[in-house]
Amino acid sequence: QGLKPIVSTDSPALIFGTTSKLSSDLPATDSFLGKNKVPDLQKLFQKADGLPVHLKRGVPDKLLYRTTMALTIGGTIYCLVALYMASQPRNQ
């Protein structure tokens, strides 16, 4: 006779087996896609002008870089001051 399986051997129904929209149902050009900017950005970033990649886009990149550096240096100085103050014994 053998043992009867406890769990059914039928496969469960697929939950995510079908998509809600087929790709053929979508229009060829959607307004949300916009213009492909990748070739323009590739030209910009591959230009040999001596600038690092994180500064190639001009003023916004320089502003973000300098803000990040200022916050990093300020945070480091703050941590060192806090460590110095914590290492000093308190007077009673």
The reply to whether 55 falls in a domain is yes
> Are 65 and 54 in contact, with CB atoms under 8 Å apart?
yes
Number of domain units in the chain: 1
22 lies in a domain? no
Residue 26 belongs to a domain: no
Q: pTM higher than 0.95 for the full model?
A: no
- Chain centroid to Cα 19, Å, comes to 26
Q: Where are the beta strands (DSSP E) in the chain?
A: none
**Spacing of C-alpha 1 from chain mean position:** 59
- The pLDDT assigned to 24 comes to 59
- Domain extent for 74: 50-91
Instruction: Flag whether 4 is in a domain.
Output: no
pLDDT in tens, the chain (92 residues): 567 667 666 776 777 666 665 555 556 555 667 888 899 989 998 988 888 888 898 899 999 999 999 999 999 999 999 999 999 988 87
CATH of the domain at 71: 4.10.91.10
The answer to whether residue 83 sits within a structural domain is yes
In a domain? residue 73: yes
pLDDT at site 28: 58
